Structure formats: structure tokens, C-alpha cells
Amino acid sequence: MKAYVFSLAPVEEAFAKDWQDQHPDDVLTVTHQALTLETADLAKGYDAVSTQPERLSADLFKKLAANGVKHVALRKVGVDHVDLAAAKDAGIAVSNVPAYSPRAIAENGLTGAMYLLRKWGYYHRQMRRGNFTRPSELMSDEIFNQTVGIVGLGRIGAAAAEMYQALGARVIGYDPCYNASLEPFLDYVDLETLLKESDIVQLHIPLTSENKGMLSTNEFAMMKDDAILVNQSRGELVDTEALIVALKYHEIGGAALDVLEGEEKVFGQKFEDVDSVPDEYKELISMPNVVMSPHSAYYTKMAVKNMFFQSLTDMERTTKGQRAFFKVN
């Protein structure tokens, strides 16, 4: 196999070396540069490319096809940024890594929910001001008394449901596709029931044109006024402006966010000072009932290694005339 790896992160360098050591007959070329129309010619004469989820357009796929590329392997699960139809028209297979470590993301969501449930943000804020008291309004609850609603019951949602159920919580779930194997861990309900009954609402659902903005003013009004929203999926699932209003006016209790609308302009960037950060982000990170991370829920050693190796494994299968395990087009 002759493969070109784009957007190689420093933490992936060791995994690239491991792959090359284990596959000495492969030609593996790496770069820290992103895959764009300008850099696509680097892959001329290569069988396949592996990349992080940059926005991949029809023009880019045409150029890759002209350069002889037959496979683009994404080192992430999300494909909403990829023109899959254009890739198919260009004769290029596209694969993702849907199961690199479901637990990594599920654990991150659980961590954020527990941080908010036990009101650590409020305590941290008052202690920084020299106040080490325990005010009555900061009395918290325990997870086994909570109802947790999981929206989206694929691999990650299922892992989250198992974790919460193991801690004693009542777990309910919504997904258009029924999975009987999850019955020991949760009860299936409709989305409206989930929003009304849940103390914690956790999103693990792919973004589609139909569910963009699925949580907005009306949905927040349905939720309990102390409910916690956990979004580990896609920022566009939630109307950010409506979320800020709901948090400010105590229509919901808190939010743990690993994703946010328009995050590609913010996450992964280092600003000179907080004043340079977009207003919505500044407002959210200033709230004691909000905890945010920069789309890093997946960011564990095991997950990053699995993403790298799974993407290259699928490229290798394609070059051998076999179907990729995780082909998405």
C-alpha cells in the first residue's frame, strides 16, 4: 500500500511509526498539513489518503481522483463535512472510524454531568473568592436518584446508558432504531417524554438535515428547570442562542458541552486573550453552570491509536481489492 497521511498530529507520530514497523512493505508518507485543494497534489501517485475531518468538497475529490487516489480514510466518526456523493462519482471510497472508543466519549459526558450535578463549578467559583462555606442552595443530589435520558443509542449512546445504569440511575432512551440488546439498561421512550422526565439529557446522535437545531426554545421549555444538558455529538444539534437564554433564565440547570455551533472557527485555536473569543463562547465559559471542552471527548491514548490504525487498515483492505470495514459511501 502507498498511503499519504494528512493532518498528522504530534500525538499520532508514534502510531505512524508503529504502523510502518508492522507493515515494512507499505509506503507511508506523513505531513502535518491539512488536506486541501492546494495540498492534494502531495498525494499524486498514492493509493489512498488518511485525514482528519477537514471539509472535503467535490472539487477536492475530483483532484484526488486525477492524482490516482482511490480511498479517503477519515480518522473520525463524523462525515457531515464530506461530500460523499461527489466522492462516489469520482470513484473514491470514503471510510470513517465509528467505533474507535465509544467509552472515551461516553465517559466524558458522564464526567461533565457529574461535575454539574454536584455543583463543582459553583463551589470552585466561590472558593476563588475566599468563600469556603456550604450554602443551602448548593446542596446537590446523587446520581442514583436521577433519570438520565440518552438521545441516540448507537455505540456511544449504548456505552453511556450502561455506565449510568451501573451507577444506579434510571435510564431512558430515544432512537428511531430499536435495539433489543439495550433493554437491560434502559427503557425506550419518545423524545418529548425523554425531555420532560430526564434530570440529565445526553446527546449521542449524528447530525442530519432533519435534526439540526433539534433542541431550541420549545424543547428547553419542556425540560426540568434543573435539568442538565450534555452534548458530545454535534454543536448544530442545539440552538446556541436559545441555550444561553435557557441557562441565564434558569429554564434548565446546566450544560456540559464538548461541541458547539461554528466550533471550527474556535476549537483548535489559541487566542491572545479572552476578549478575542467570540461572544457566545465567552458567555458560556463564564457561567458556573456550564463546563466546556474543545471537542476533546474522544481524546484518549486508546481512541487516538484506534482511529489511526483503523483508518489505515481500511485503506489497506481497499488496495487489496477488499471492501473497507467502515465504508460510508
User: pLDDT tens digit string along 202-242?
Assistant: 999 989 889 999 999 999 999 999 999 999 999 999 999 99
For the segment 121-134, the average pLDDT, to the nearest whole number, is 94
> Residue 328: inside a domain, yes or no?
no
Domain presence at residue 326: no
Per-residue model confidence (pLDDT) at position 192:
98
271 has a pLDDT exceeding 80: yes
Q: Number of folded domains in the chain?
A: 2
Say if residue 77's pLDDT is above 90. Answer: no
Same structural domain for residues 118 and 254? yes
Whether the per-residue pLDDT at 247 is higher than 80: the answer is yes
Quote the pLDDT of residue 79: 85
Q: Reply yes or no on whether the pLDDT at 99 is more than 80.
A: no
Confirm whether 57 is domain-assigned. Answer: yes
Q: Are residues 153 and 32 in the same domain?
A: no
If 0-12 CB within 10 Å is exposed, 13-18 middle and 19+ buried, where does residue 183 land? exposed
Cα torsion for 222, 225, 227, 230, to the nearest 10°? 70
Question: Which pLDDT score, from 0 to 100, does residue 292 have?
Answer: 96
155 lies in the same domain as 183: yes
Residue 32: what pLDDT?
95
Helix (H) or strand (E) holding 182: none
58 and 139 housed in the same domain = no
DSSP category for residue 264: G
pLDDT > 90 fraction of the chain, expressed in percent and rounded: 85
pLDDT at residue number 193:
98
Q: Which CATH number belongs to the domain containing residue 13 in this structure? A: 3.40.50.720
Residue-wise pLDDT for 141-152, tens only, equals 999 999 999 999
Q: Is residue 271 part of a domain?
A: yes
- Cα(166)–Cα(151) distance, integer angstroms: 18
Provide the CB-side half-sphere exposure for 50 (13 A, CA).
Answer: 29
Pair 81, 229 in one domain: no
| pLDDT above 70: percentage of residues in the chain | 100
Indicate the average pLDDT of the chain: 94
In a domain, 286, yes or no: yes
Does residue 123 share a domain with residue 94?
no
pLDDT at 70: 94
**Distances 153 to 150, 172, 229, 233, 311 between C-alpha atoms, Å:** 7, 10, 16, 12, 23
Nearest Cα to Cα of residue 121 among 13, 253, 8, 19: 253
Task: Please check whether residue 324 lies inside any domain of the structure.
Answer: no
On whether both 110 and 95 belong to a single domain, the answer is: no
Is the per-residue pLDDT at 54 higher than 80? no
Domain range for 92 is 2-100+301-319
Whether 152 and 227 share a structural domain: yes
**Residues labelled catalytic:** 234, 263, 295
22 in any annotated domain: yes
Is 264's pLDDT higher than 80? Answer: yes
Spatial neighbors of 296 by CB under 8 A, at least 6 apart, are 108, 258
Specify whether 79 is located in the same domain as 125: no
Model pLDDT, residue 59: 95
The total number of residues written for the chain in this structure: 329
Domain-embedded: residue 327: no
Question: Is 83 in the same domain as 193?
Answer: no
Looking at the structure, tell me whether residues 93 and 192 fall in a common domain.
no
Range scoring the smallest mean pLDDT among 12-16, 79-83, 155-159, 177-181? 79-83
Pair 83, 119 in one domain: no
Mean pLDDT of 19-23: 92
> Is 113 a residue whose pLDDT tops 90?
yes
